[in-house]
Structure 1
């Protein structure tokens, strides 16, 4: 099976260990085990870890963990939850279980590349519906309705959106649900950044009988190292997923399962910590954009990601390469999301890292702008 290279992951693999200031990371600054337990008010949890039997865990995830995940939703039970290796594993399993050759899949873009490349690799007929940058990365419901024709197999979106930080408010999310319902389509929503907005929108699993929500511990919960994600869906979907999951997963690690459950049982405290950090960092970036010539953005409505537009004669990949090698600051090229002329910034990193990184970018930009007549310079090996 052929699949396109995963542009974001390949970029991160190549560069993230080679810079001192990583502004490409999109998780809320990751917690230590001790920090998480302190926020959760569970200092005795390490006693549970010491006594934990290290056989295989429960195949769908422990009942304790699935109960905590279901509690993040309004209308779900543990029977509607399947645990996976990260949100990335959850998304992959959904596509494997539901999409095949010739199926029509409509994906709202820009998005995380899984939601385009995996269905294409499975032989699906992929239709992209683009968010409108001029209106603040809004979704045009008329265009979506035109794309989601009767018989469409699946509609995919990220909400909050990665990479733009746009958020579909509840009324617009319900409009998307109605479009999917009329067509009889499954609706897959990658909700890994959900919970970071002060007034979070509903989960599609709670809004639609064919709604499928995926998420995990990495982004909003600041615990990427646990590698725990999940699918919340009708039991019919989970039965199909389980067939594919048996070939790849068996179970997640029992220690990961336990620590994820402890964190999710204290979700308000963990998410509140992330919201506070994110609000301060978004304000820092907004102040920087206002003070730095040649840079602009649409501030994220939710989540940790946003696209910064720049006015320099460089492709986004080459700009990011030069910032990494000359300033030791890392962004993700907008070309990885099909949005050239931009870079993706992660607003969830430690505040001092963000501030220092932006200062270096501003200084580097002033130097680079001295010769504005330079032709567009491609990245090494890039075709333009």
Structure 2
């Protein structure tokens, strides 16, 4: 099986450890274990954990964890939740289980590369539904309709969107779901950033709560600041899909760590405390970044509505990879080049970090830009 290099992961693997200031991180500032347990009032958690026998644990995730994840949706049965190794593992399992050579897969672009390159590697005919800045980085329904053919198996979206932070509202999401149903296809919606809204009134329901043809994936990495757990999940009201996923999952994953399972369950039970901390960071940093861009003539953007990332455009005659590598080498600050998402003249910035990290990173970016005025 031939597969293209995962550009964003290759770039970060090469440069992330050399950054003094990392403003490429995509989630909200990660917890230390001590900070997490203090915030949720469970400082004695590890005393109880010492009693756990280190077996393989729960094949599909513990019943308690699956019940807590199911509560994130409307009337979702816990047995329709499948725990996976992060959202990346969840997405891969969906492609591995459903996509066959010759199937048509329609995926938004730019996007997290996994959402189109994996299907392509499995022999699918991948059509890219291009998101455009002039359309606020949102999918065009008419273009989607034109792309559908009689072999369309899967439509793939990412909401909130990586790398732009755009948000498909409920009206547009329902239209996409309706088109999926009319063509007897499936909708895969990566919802790793769901819950991170700049304005609470912009909250959007899960695609899984709109259509039984929708399969959604989630993660503990972004919203919960627990990337180190390496846990995600799949949710769908479609029992046939869940059973198919289970069959394929047996060949990739026996189980996830029971320690990670216990911590994830604890986090979900205390979700509001975690969200209070994380939304404060997100909304504070969004204002700082917005003000900075408003006063920086070499940078422009479509302001993100959700998630903890943005995709600004810069007005310099430099390829994006060169732009980011020079910034790192000269100023010690890390961004992700737009070329990792197939677009030049842009970079991805993460603003879920500590506020002082963002401020320092933007200061170094301004110093770098001053060399080109």
Q: What is the number of equivalent residue pairs in this alignment?
A: 369
In the TM superposition, what are the counterparts of 1:25-174 in structure 2 within 5 Å? 25-174=25-174
Distance 2:169 2:271 in 1: 21
Q: Residue 273 of structure 1 is aligned with which of 277, 280, 289?
A: 277
Q: Which runs of 5+ in 1 are unaligned?
A: 370-384
Q: CA deviation at 1:150?
A: 4.0
Q: CA deviation at 1:109?
A: 1.4
Distance 1:150 1:274 in 2: 44
Aligned Cα RMSD in Å? 1.1
Q: Residue 231 of structure 2 is aligned with which of 223, 228, 237?
A: 228
Q: CA deviation at 1:25?
A: 0.6
Distance 2:148 2:43 in 1: 50
Q: CA deviation at 1:151?
A: 4.0
Q: Deviations over 1:165-211 (max 9, x none)?
A: 00011111111100111111100000000011124211111111111
Distance 2:355 2:214 in 1: 36
Q: Which runs of 5+ in 2 are unaligned?
A: none
Give SS of 1:116's match: helix
Whether the 8 Å CA contact 1:148–1:155 is kept in 2: the answer is no
Q: Which runs of 4+ in 1 moved over 3 A?
A: none
Distance 1:196 1:79 in 2: 26
Distance 2:299 2:338 in 1: 14
Distance 2:106 2:75 in 1: 26
Is 1:248 matched with 2:270? no
Q: CA deviation at 1:46?
A: 2.1
Q: Residue 210 of structure 2 is aligned with which of 207, 232, 241?
A: 207
Whether the 8 Å CA contact 1:105–1:125 is kept in 2: the answer is yes
Q: Residue 351 of structure 1 is aligned with which of 314, 331, 355?
A: 355
Whether the 8 Å CA contact 2:102–2:151 is kept in 1: the answer is no
More deviation, 154-163/68-77:
68-77
Match of 1:373 in 2: none
More deviation, 230-239/279-288:
230-239
| TM-score under structure 2 length normalisation | 0.97
Match of 1:323 in 2: 327
Give SS of 2:152's match: coil
Distance 2:75 2:328 in 1: 46
Is 1:264 matched with 2:263? no
Whether the 8 Å CA contact 2:23–2:334 is kept in 1: the answer is yes
Distance 1:313 1:344 in 2: 17
| TM-score under structure 1 length normalisation | 0.94
